[in-house]
Amino acid sequence: MDDRCGGSGVSGSTNIDDGATHLARLLIEDVIEARREVATGASQAVRRNLVRTTFAAIEGLVWLAREHVHEVAEKMHVLTPTASMALREKSYFVADNGELVEQIRFVTLRAMIRLIAKQTALIAPGFTLMYTHPGWQKLQEATAIRNCITHPKNASELIVNERMLADVEAGFTWTAASMEHVIASSIASFRGHVEETRAVINALKGGDQMTTDEYQRAASQPD
């Protein structure tokens, strides 16, 4: 996925902020408008535009979920440096002069979704995505369609038929529902984490001896 455009759009809150919500709304509205154009005049150019617009929305929704999961995992102290770099699609190497040089590492859409799901499972144990759902396979087929019209080798690869449009729509629907599931699950788990932390702090303030002893034992353990 390409992460070079614009700002983060995500605030310091673990809830989805207004900027992220606005972005998601715009992406979905673009898809709706592109579908209307196909319904009123389904030329090949209009169909290709629908595929491109839908994939912009798919990648945008995955990006929003990725940023959210990164933030929540970091706040819950379950984000490793390696996972952080993977989510950011970055790595580093040491140049001959001893300088650290950042490198951008492209991660496929399929791999990024699986990475997001695995990180979400660290935040919310038991979390999973439905890879057995037909929508997941349709997303793979839709990705191939998008790749063909983006990098065509011949004119036939620019032809988008009704079945292809259905595959793209199914892939979008699965992605939108899955990323919503990611965000809702991580928010719910984080809220539980905050409540537990608040209860411990209140117990410590109140001088609860058992809580104090448990806290001191945890604090003395090596990382």
What radius of gyration, in Å, describes the C-alpha atoms of the chain?
22
**Distance from C-alpha of 184 to C-alpha of 64, rounded to nearest angstrom:** 13
CB 186 within 8 A of CB 120: yes
If 0-12 CB within 10 Å is exposed, 13-18 middle and 19+ buried, where does residue 47 land? buried
CA distance 116 to 65: 8
Going by C-beta distance under 8 Å and a sequence separation of 6 or more, which residues neighbour residue 214?
none
202: tokens are 């209140």
Per cent of the chain over pLDDT 90 is 70
Mean pLDDT of the chain: 85
Interval 194-211: pLDDT, tens: 565 555 555 555 555 554
> How do residues 46-92 score in pLDDT, each as one tens digit?
999 999 999 999 999 999 999 999 999 999 999 999 999 999 999 88
**pLDDT value for 205:** 57
pLDDT, one tens digit per residue, over 122-171 is 999 999 999 999 999 999 999 999 999 999 999 999 999 999 999 999 99
- Phi, psi (rounded to 5 degrees) for 101: -120, 125
DSSP SS3 for 156: helix
| pLDDT tens-digit series, residues 71-81 | 999 999 999 99
Q: Rounded to the nearest 5°, which phi and psi values hold at 4?
A: -95, -10
For residue 44, give every residue at least 6 positions away whose Cβ sits within 8 Å of its Cβ, in sequence order, or none.
Answer: 158, 159, 160
Tokens of 48: 């290709």
Euclidean distance between CA atoms 60 and 189, whole angstroms: 23
Contact between 168 and 142 under an 8 Å Cβ cutoff? The reply is yes
Output the pTM of the full model.
Answer: 0.80
Token pair recorded at residue 197: 């932390």
Which amino acid is located at 178 in the chain? Answer: S
**Contact criterion met (CB below 8 Å) for 66 and 107:** no
Contact at 8 Å (CB) between 64 and 16?
yes
**Which residues have a Cβ under 8 Å from the Cβ of 91 and sit 6 or more positions away?**
85, 102, 103, 105
Are 74 and 68 within 8 A, CB to CB? no
